Amino acid sequence: MSTELFYLVLVATLTALTWLPYVLNTLSVRGLNNAVGYPENPAPLAPWAQRMKAAHYNSVESLVVFATLVIVAHLAGVSDGATATAAMVYFWARVAHLIVYTFGVPWLRTLSFAVGYAAMLVFAWKLLAG
């Protein structure tokens, strides 16, 4: 497996697991019936859980673009040190984004998102320039 595909699997796994903590908070705050139902006035999640849920949505939205770029690069045979590094940087930027978003660190949240976005642009550049 290429480095790029390896990091795509890590990113997808991170995204898949991110919902667990905030769902546990939902169960804790609302109880099972309201967590799986549609209560009229649901109890709010803890602030950290609300932020983690937002970070998860952001991860899902970004994963669509990242996965597309990595898969197209793989199919096109575009792989070098720059794409391997970009995939690694993207993964760690997503880890940082999840952590700082959950803990409510605004400047680092934006910086980590921008670093991940730049890593995606490396793939786009390699695909379009080659």
pLDDT by 10s per residue, the chain, length 130: 999 999 999 999 999 999 999 999 999 999 888 888 898 899 999 999 999 999 999 999 999 999 999 999 999 999 999 999 999 999 999 999 999 999 999 899 999 999 999 999 999 999 999 7
User: Could you identify the residue written with the tokens 């649901």?
Assistant: 42
Report the domain count for the chain.
1
CATH number of domain containing 100: 1.20.120.550
- Domain around 24: 3-129
Question: Could you give the 3-state DSSP secondary structure of residue 41?
Answer: coil
Do the beta carbons of residue 4 and residue 83 sit within 8 Å?
yes
pLDDT at 130: 74
CA 111 from centroid of its chain's CA atoms? 14
Measured distance CA(41)–CA(87) in Å, rounded: 42
CA angle 43, 22, 54 (to 5 degrees): 95
